[in-house]
Amino acid sequence: MRLPCILVLFLGCGSPDQVQPEIKQLNEIPLNIRDKTEVDERTATVNDTLPEGWVDVKSLIPELVLDIRYATSDNFVGIQLYPCERCLLRKEVAEAIAVAFEALRADNLGLKLFDCYRPRSVQEALWRKVPDARYVTNPAKGSMHNRGAAVDLTLIDQNGHEIDMGTEYDFFGEKAYHTFTKLPAEVLTARRKLRDLMQEVGFKHIRTEWWHYSYQIKNYEVSDFRWPCPGQAL
Ligand SMILES: [Zn+2]
């Protein structure tokens, strides 16, 4: 059972270990992404070019909005680190995102993803820029992004506009912390909505970044492959 929001609030919301969420699985929600030959064919074609067990999330959820900042120079490093914009995740992680996405439909909300799988060599580049474990995982340890098991994301409305979360993505400071509460009520509500939803589908938040979620149900190895851009083989 999930704790009532108000109780979670008083517990500081920073203690997911105390909460035993009921993890939603794909077969618990009537997903219109499933049981369609056309979808199966599309996912097979797209994901054929990826290593075994990896999925391009857009092949599961074409409506998903991507704003993969490391595929541009609009990021805190200031240089393009990915060859092109793609959101790759381990299969179970991508399916959990699909469940979250479907759950948001009823509220006319969607998801925008800023980052998904990140090759370990890119992690090294980030660490050289910000060697601070509060914000960047040491590549020696390996980030959950390097395992294809983490996402950076936010909520968007039906027009594709980001819901106000109080700071920009990759804002390094206390204002982005879940524990920072000197924010308008609607911002706190939006952060809590995203956190509760992600927790329900198997992700855990971190204290310092409202946008970061790591999948908890399964462990994966660190990877360092670069994904193929459209028209390329791996
Ligand atoms: Zn992240």
What is the 122 CA–ligand 1 centroid distance (Å)?
13
Decide if pLDDT at 225 tops 80: yes
pLDDT at 145 over 70: yes
- Residue 209 CA to ligand 1 center (angstroms) comes to 8
Written as six digits, the tokens of 121 are 């060599």
Is position 76 within any domain? Answer: yes
pLDDT tens digits for 38-64?
A: 556 656 666 777 899 999 999 999 999
Compute the distance from residue 150 Cα to the ligand 1 centre, in Å.
6
Mean pLDDT of 91-116: 95
Strand ranges (DSSP E) for the chain? Answer: 54-56, 65-66, 88-90, 110-115, 150-156, 203-206, 209-215
Q: Is 200 helix (H, G, I), strand (E, B) or coil?
A: helix
Which of 68-72, 76-80, 140-144, 171-175 has the least mean pLDDT?
A: 76-80
> What spacing in Å lies between the alpha carbon of 176 and ligand 1's midpoint?
13
Give me the chain's average pLDDT, please.
Answer: 84
The reply to whether 196 falls in a domain is yes
**Whole-number Å distance between alpha carbons of 26 and 231:** 31
Q: Give the pLDDT score at 29.
A: 45
Q: What is the pLDDT of residue 38?
A: 58
Question: Ligand 1 centre and the CA of 211: distance in Å?
Answer: 7
- CA of 35 from ligand 1 middle (Å) equals 31
Distance from the alpha carbon of residue 37 to the mean position of ligand 1, in angstroms? 33
Distance set, CA 131 to CA 113, 139, 147, 204 (Å):
24, 10, 20, 23
Looking at residues 167-175, what average pLDDT do you find?
94
pLDDT band per the 50, 70, 90 thresholds, residue 182 = very high
Answer yes or no: are the C-beta atoms of 185 and 194 closer than 8 Å: no
- Angle between helix 91-105 and helix 185-200 axes, rounded to 10 deg: 130
Specify if 7 maps to a domain: no
Q: Do residues 17 and 11 lie in contact, with contact meaning Cβ atoms separated by under 8 Å? A: no
What is the residue type of 225? F
pLDDT at 49: 78
Ligand 1 midpoint to CA 105 (Å) = 24
Give the distance (Å) from ligand 1 centre to CA of residue 199.
15
| 62 C-alpha to ligand 1 centroid (Å) | 22
Is residue 12, in this structure, part of any structural domain at all? no
Q: Is the pLDDT of residue 19 over 70?
A: no
Count of domains observed in the chain: 1
Cα 3 to ligand 1 centre (Å):
25
The CA distance from 227 to 209, in Å, is 26
Query: Nearest 5°: CA angle at 104, between 103 and 105?
Result: 95
Strand, helix or coil at 85? coil
Q: Domain residues for 209?
A: 24-215
Question: Would the pLDDT of 228 be above 80?
Answer: yes
CA 8 to centroid of ligand 1, rounded, Å = 23
Give the contacts of 106 (CB within 8 A, at least 6 positions apart): none
Residue 69 CA, distance from chain mean position: 13
Q: Is residue 172 part of a domain?
A: yes
- Where residue 186 sits, what CATH number does that domain have? 3.30.1380.10
Q: From ligand 1's centre to the CA of 137, what distance in Å?
A: 9
Within 10 Å of residue 48's Cβ, how many Cβ atoms? Answer: 9
Interval 78-92 mean pLDDT: 93
Residue 226 lies in a domain: no
- CA of 144 relative to ligand 1 center, distance in Å: 8
Domain assignment present for 82: yes
> Is the pLDDT score of 191 beyond 90?
yes
pLDDT at 6 over 90: no
CA of 104 to the centre of ligand 1 (A): 21
Mean pLDDT of 80-100: 95
In a domain, 19, yes or no: no
With b for 16 or more beta-carbon neighbours within 10 A and e for fewer, the 179-208 pattern comes to ebeebeeebbebbbbbbbbbbbbbbbbbeb
